[in-house]
Amino acid sequence: MVGSLATTIAKRRAIKQGMMQELLTGRTRLRGFESEWGLTALGSVCRIKTGARNNQDKVPNGAYPFFVRSATVERIDSYSYDTEAILVPGEGGIGTIFHYINGKFEVHQRVYKISDFASNVSGKFVYYFMRVFFGSHAMENSVKATVDSLRLPTFNSFELSLPPTRAEQEAIVEVLEDADAEIEALEKRLEATRQIKEGMMQELLTGRTRLV
């Protein structure tokens, strides 16, 4: 059962990756949308800046998310922003870590906050697009020092392939969110199955439960 679920999850992830490549480039269009897509620089449709907090500002079990230079979201008891945003570390895991939030949060001084999107641009669409296509652009344009790092011009110059209407962007987002939800449900089911299996093994291997 565990192996079968793991295989199913791997297949769903592969299907979703292919779906993202098709939908986020306009190679496959959703029904009802036909207008031509265009290329737009990221910096022209949003505001991009870094945060101001340090890692030592984090608080265990703090009230608000604190985005630092890792995939782990820390906590903090204050916030500077209450908005829709994409958070991308400027150092560490270059082009592989992306967070999306719509609410109150805080940002590390080496994490870029992408927010204040133009009225015709869906922040969630940009988030999905960056997850697929920003990594190669980031590695080609990173600053080579003690560690690879990103600078503001790298973000500003990143080209987005955008549907002409927000309605089409949001329709694509809905399809991708459904795929995410399906994978998340399967992952929870897999974890529950593993826990049941481990519990059964503990019982049988210690003799607390005996076979008939």
CATH 3.90.220.20 fits 38-162, yes or no: yes
pTM attached to this predicted model? 0.85
pLDDT (average), residues 65-88: 97
pLDDT band at 59 (very low <50, low <70, confident <90, very high): very high
Transcribe the chain into DSSP letters: -HHHHHHHHHHHHHHHHHHHHHHTTTSS--TT--SPPEEEEGGGSSEEEE--B-GGG--TT-SEEEE-SSSSEEEES--SEEEEEEEEESBSSTTT--EEEEEEEEEBTTEEEEE---TT--HHHHHHHHHHHHHHHHHHH-B-SSS-B--HHHHHTPEEEE-SSHHHHHHHHHHHHHHHHHHHHHHHHHHHHHHHHHHHHHHHHHTSS---
Q: Express each pLDDT in 11-33 by its tens digit.
A: 888 888 888 899 999 999 999 99
* pLDDT reading at 97 higher than 90: yes
Tokens representing 112?
Answer: 């870029």
Q: Express each pLDDT in 40-55 by its tens digit.
A: 999 999 999 999 999 9
* pLDDT reading at 146 higher than 60: no
pLDDT band at 198 (very low <50, low <70, confident <90, very high): confident
Res 16: pLDDT: 87
* pLDDT reading at 130 higher than 60: yes
Res 206: pLDDT: 79
111-115 β-sheet, strand order: 47-50, 111-115, 81-89, 99-107, 64-67, 73-76
* pLDDT reading at 2 higher than 90: no
- Output 54 or 208, whichever has higher pLDDT: 54
The Cα–Cα gap between 55 and 68 comes to 7
Q: For the chain, which residues make up each domain, given as ranges? A: 1-36+163-207, 38-162
pLDDT band at 211 (very low <50, low <70, confident <90, very high): low
